[in-house]
Amino acid sequence: MNVMNSGRSFSKLTRLGDLIDFRNDIVHPKDNPKGEAIFVGLEHVERNTGIRIGAEKVDLTELTGRRARFFAGDIVYGYLRPYLNKVWTAEFDGICSVDQYVFITRENVDRNYIAHFFRSEQFLKTAPVDSTPGQLPRIRSGEIADTPIALPPLNEQRRIAAILDKADALRRKRKHALDLLDNLIQSIFLEMFGSPESNPKGWKQGRISDLLEDTQYGTSEKAGEKGDYPILRMGNLTADGRMNFESLKYIDLDDKDLEKYTVRRGDILFNRTNSADLVGKTAVFDRDERFAFAGYLVRARVKKGVSPYYVASYLNSRHGKATLRGMAKSIVGMANINAKEMQSIPILIPDAKIQRAYSDALASIEALRAVSKRHMRLLDSSFSSLQSRAFSGQL
């Protein structure tokens, strides 16, 4: 049977269950396991990329619940909420949650090929997800085993997996480059202004209020899917001090409220209510379109000659974050910093000239970053097109 009618086609479709085995090696607390193990749970695997973002050393004698054992080279697949796409190839031996299946590939089956298949849209589309009440969708082992998969000869599998690996590696490299640019920005800040604690350059000391002309809370109107203006909410401020414009909602505004509840280029946005870690996220709005902003954000406009980027970078710096954390008032699991408190934060006031130089430096790095970002998006889209061709015999 041919899978595709164009390009190279595979000779047959197989059951996924014929290519892999479930390891099913459970650690039971009641068996009194001894020693230590590395735990890699769902929380330690990044969604979509499958990159391991952590691990935990655990004492097996203190284990209270069941765990699954995995060994280096196994495919560890999070079958709870499969749309999160958490597929990790183990780099070492350890244990994971029982909401992860551990797979071993059989003879003549390339494990990278299988791992890529688990990650592919084809798999997510074909494997039926059971809808247990309570928002806990899972793909069951039987469904996984019955999923059809095209299986070319081993060398073909390797070739396809290698192409996908290469494309994936490019994405990671690009991501790394982006991280380096972020570090660069922080170094430039320190280089130009010196550490805020020791003030080696002897700048004038002041408070944030000295630099601001005006602060304003956003609208508390409820936002919806439709409306005249897109509205910026907490999620549109990233933890590293940027804006993103994803998952926007919309709102209608009276003309008289336009000035009050919308931002313009160069405004600072400050997140006054969030969890203790995220409260105080700050970013500069740098577009020309009109956006409204929500009530848990504070809009701050700087005085003439002040760089909003300097202020935002200061609040986002390690020192700034520590200050914010110290002053946040925590209630019911969330922290607050109101506009007055934010303005009372001490800050150094460097010359306008050097603030401008900082803005300029930042702008040129951001330009580089934008190029990198665009490149990243291209890589992403070519990766997913490669992926879909890979499993339909077109690679």
Q: Which residues bind DNA (CB under 7 A)?
A: 24, 26, 28, 30, 41-44, 47, 64-66, 78, 80-81, 84, 86, 97-99, 130, 132-136, 140-142, 216-217, 220, 222-223, 233-235, 247, 272-275, 277-278, 295-296, 329, 331-334, 336, 338-340
- Under 8 Å between Cβ of 301 and 214: yes
Which residues sit opposite 15 in a β-bridge?
A: 148
- Least CB distance from residue 40 to DNA, whole Å? 8
CB nearer DNA, residue 80 or residue 181 = 80
CB nearer DNA, residue 160 or residue 294 = 294
- Distance between CA atoms of residues 394 and 6, nearest Å: 7
- Least CB distance from residue 127 to DNA, whole Å? 13
- Least CB distance from residue 186 to DNA, whole Å? 21
- Distance between CA atoms of residues 362 and 314, nearest Å: 13
- Under 8 Å between Cβ of 101 and 147: no
CB nearer DNA, residue 139 or residue 362 = 139
Report the length, in residues, of the chain. 395
- Under 8 Å between Cβ of 60 and 24: no
DSSP at 52: B
Closest CA relative to residue 235, chosen from 276, 293, 175: 293
CB nearer DNA, residue 125 or residue 222 = 222
CB nearer DNA, residue 121 or residue 351 = 121
- Least CB distance from residue 102 to DNA, whole Å? 11
Which residues sit opposite 219 in a β-bridge?
A: 294
- Least CB distance from residue 194 to DNA, whole Å? 32
CB nearer DNA, residue 205 or residue 238 = 238
CB nearer DNA, residue 28 or residue 166 = 28
Q: Where are the alpha helices (DSSP H) in 140-213?
A: 141-146, 154-193, 208-211
- Distance between CA atoms of residues 232 and 88, nearest Å: 34
Burial class (CB in 10 A: 0-12, 13-18, 19+), 328: buried
- Least CB distance from residue 236 to DNA, whole Å? 8
- Can you give the C-alpha Rg of the chain in angstroms? 26
- Least CB distance from residue 308 to DNA, whole Å? 20
